[in-house]
Amino acid sequence: MRFSSFEIPDSGYDAIIFDCDGTLIDSMPAHYEAWQIALDEHGASGVFQEDVFYAMGGRPTTDIVSQLNGDYDLSLDPAAVADSKRRAFLTLLDKVAVIDEVVDFAKSQRGKKPMAIATGGTRMVIEKTLQACGISDLFDEVITADDVTAGKPDPEVFLTAAERLGVAPDKCLVLEDAAPGVMAAQLAGMTVVCVPPPVKVEQ
């Protein structure tokens, strides 16, 4: 199945697993804005550059804070920053939207193959994001950072999704947009389709 920006294999998989932010939902700009708000609240304005943010896509918030601490000799409380970032993002849900090609593919497979979301986001935020975009009912399972002990690029979130779907990892197709997630899916032994970022149309 060919879309304008990516191609889905015709066969070889029995289940489909989707990343959420940046893959199903165009939410990464809102997440970056939330990061800036949170870091400003904690006295660390300007330390998280946009290109670094996108390179870390899919990693849990607390992991990113820990890395920022190491990179910039900071002593931020990962849990406190994560809470601030979560609250900030929830005020920006009006800025997120589905990525039509990926969601159209998911809708075309509903009832044909089991489908899951495997994300580095927390359950509360992901559920509110899916609800805001009207796609909560598309997926059989939603695996979040709350369900695993290690975030992407560790393969645990994808392996957990496969287990809950009852499908062997090597029979799972993953759609991902970020390098840590692609690596995690590959380490899980799954076939990966890379979803490029949405093309921005100048107004």
Cα separation, 135 vs 201, in Å, equals 24
Residue with structure tokens 């990464």?
Answer: 28
Residue 130: closest CA among 20, 3, 7: 20
Active site annotation includes 51: no
CATH number for position 40: 1.10.150
Rg (CA), the chain: 16
pLDDT > 50? residue 202: no
Q: Which of 41, 66, 93 represents a domain boundary (last residue)?
A: 93
- 172 and 119 in a single domain? The answer is yes
Q: Are residues 20 and 113 in the same domain?
A: yes
Q: What pLDDT score does 60 carry? A: 84
Write the DSSP symbol of residue 29.
Answer: H
- Within this chain, do residues 131 and 169 fall inside the same structural domain, yes or no? yes
Its pTM stands at 0.88
Residue 2 has pLDDT above 60, yes or no: yes
Mean pLDDT of 166-170: 98
Both 117 and 84 in a single domain?
no
Residue 201 has pLDDT above 60, yes or no: no
Taking residues 37-63, what's their average pLDDT?
91
In this structure, are 52 and 131 located in the same domain? no
Q: Is residue 22 a contact partner of residue 177, using CB atoms and an 8 Å limit? A: yes
Overall average pLDDT of the 68-90 stretch: 95
Q: Of the candidates 93, 108, 133, which is a domain's last residue? A: 93
| Mean pLDDT in residue range 38-54 | 93
Which entry of 10, 14, 19, 77 is annotated as an active-site residue?
19
Is 200 a residue whose pLDDT tops 60? no
pLDDT band at 3 (very low <50, low <70, confident <90, very high): low
Same domain, 131 and 184: yes
| Cα–Cα dist 39/36, whole Å | 5
CB atoms within 10 A of CB 124: 12
- Reduced DSSP (H G I as helix, E B as strand, rest coil) percent helix, strand, coil of the chain, to 5: 50, 15, 40
Determine the pLDDT at residue 196. Answer: 87
The answer to whether residues 67 and 127 belong to one domain is no
Percent of the chain at pLDDT exceeding 70: 95
Residue 84 resides in a domain: yes
Structural domain boundaries, residue 72: 28-93
CA proximity to 103, closest of 143, 134, 59, 145: 134
When pLDDT is averaged across residues 38-42 and rounded to a whole number, the result is 96
Q: What is the pLDDT of residues 61-73, one digit of tens each?
A: 898 999 999 999 9
Structure-model confidence comparison of residues 57 and 169, the more confident one: 169
Total count of domains within the chain: 2
Same domain, 176 and 102: yes
Task: Indicate the residue among 93, 125, 140 that finishes a domain.
Answer: 93
104 and 186 share one domain: yes
Dump strand ranges (E) for the chain. 15-18, 25-26, 97-98, 115-118, 141-143, 172-176, 191-194
> pLDDT, tens digit, for every residue of 95-122?
999 999 999 999 999 999 999 999 999 9
> Within this chain, do residues 21 and 119 fall inside the same structural domain, yes or no?
yes
- One domain, residues 123 and 23: yes
